[in-house]
Chain A
């Protein structure tokens, strides 16, 4: 049986990050864009925890903990912005928010 190394986890994280980037660039729904940002943050988390396990130090896990707290703050602010956007525009399509286009 083949053993699982650091690279396996990094590949999973890379695919997860790419899917997040794809979601941000591909979808026009602000909520889905937000969820994709969560995916990217979690890919970063997975890399931190994998390296933390690889080197036998727990510092990476502490940083991942901070990222989770940061993501919670980001979600609360971002959803508040989406709510107020929906009140103003009546939709959450990010193409409808082009007021500052030059």
Chain B
């Protein structure tokens, strides 16, 4: 399942950038780090022969979601909250919990496993995924488009400036 060199390069990239997201004090650095992490994840998708999904990952996350994030960060005047990596009891508790979860998961997964099955030619291409999307998963596909419309309308309503009350 993928060339070892590329796997390790992309995996290191993803995890290092994700660490950056959590520990950078400047939100803008975090957002840039998240872009790198998501691009690395798209690389892992390519190694898993999900080519269509990798393209969608770059388009939707790097193209749409991250632009939205950076737009919002630029909109705020966050100069006062840059040095905000303060540690409290609750965050130390969170550190311990997250470490425990990661150790549990990784220890559980470390046993050897067989290599994956061989796959056909149209595995993960637009053709294969698109066929599945418009036949077996047609109803969820339509529902998700309704959801996106509702989200767009809801975002406009929520972010609207209040008229004259308050």
Residues A32 and B68 in contact in the complex (CB < 8 Å), given A5-B112, A64-B50: no
* Interface range for B: 35 or more
Assess the B148–A25 pair: CB atoms within 8 A.
Answer: no
A72 and B41 contacting across the interface, CB-CB below 8 Å: no
Instruction: Using CB atoms, name the residue of chain A closest to B102.
Output: A18
Q: Are B22 and A26 in contact (CB under 8 A)?
A: yes
Given contact pairs A29-B81, A92-B76, a sample of 8 additional A-B residue pairs in the complex whose CB atoms are under 8 Å apart: A6-B1, A11-B109, A12-B15, A15-B18, A18-B101, A64-B53, A76-B151, A81-B158
A5, B76: Cβ atoms under 8 Å? no
A15-B15, A29-B81, A61-B129 known; A55-B117 Cβ under 8 A: yes
Tell me how many residue pairs across A and B have CB atoms closer than 8 Å: 252
Contact sample, A vs B, 14 pairs, CB 8 Å cutoff: A5-B114, A12-B44, A15-B102, A18-B102, A25-B94, A29-B84, A35-B69, A49-B48, A49-B50, A58-B129, A61-B129, A64-B53, A68-B56, A92-B76
Let me know if B98 and A4 touch, CB within 8 A.
no
Interface of B is mostly: helix
CB distance from A1 to the nearest CB of B (A): 6
Given the known interface contacts A35-B31, A79-B68, the answer about A2 and B44 at a Cβ–Cβ threshold of 8 Å is: no
CB distance from B36 to the nearest CB of A (A): 12
Tell me if B121 is interfacial: C-beta within 8 Å of chain A.
no
Which of A12, A35, A58, A91 interacts with B128 by CB under 8 Å? A58
A91→B82 CA distance, assembly (Å): 12
**Residues in chain A near residue B68, CB distance under 8 A:** 75-76, 79
Question: Do A22 and B123 contact each other (CB < 8 Å), given the known contacts A31-B27, A35-B34, A58-B132?
Answer: no
Partner of B119, one of A18, A31, A35, A53: A53
- Pick the residue among A4, A36, A61 that contacts B53 (CB under 8 A): A61
A residues in contact with B165, CB < 8 Å: none
Q: Judging by beta carbons under 8 Å apart, are B95 and A22 in contact? A: yes
The answer to whether B1 touches A9 (Cβ under 8 A) is yes
Chain A residues numbered 13-41 whose CB sits less than 8 Å from any CB in chain B: 14-29, 31-32, 34-36, 38-39
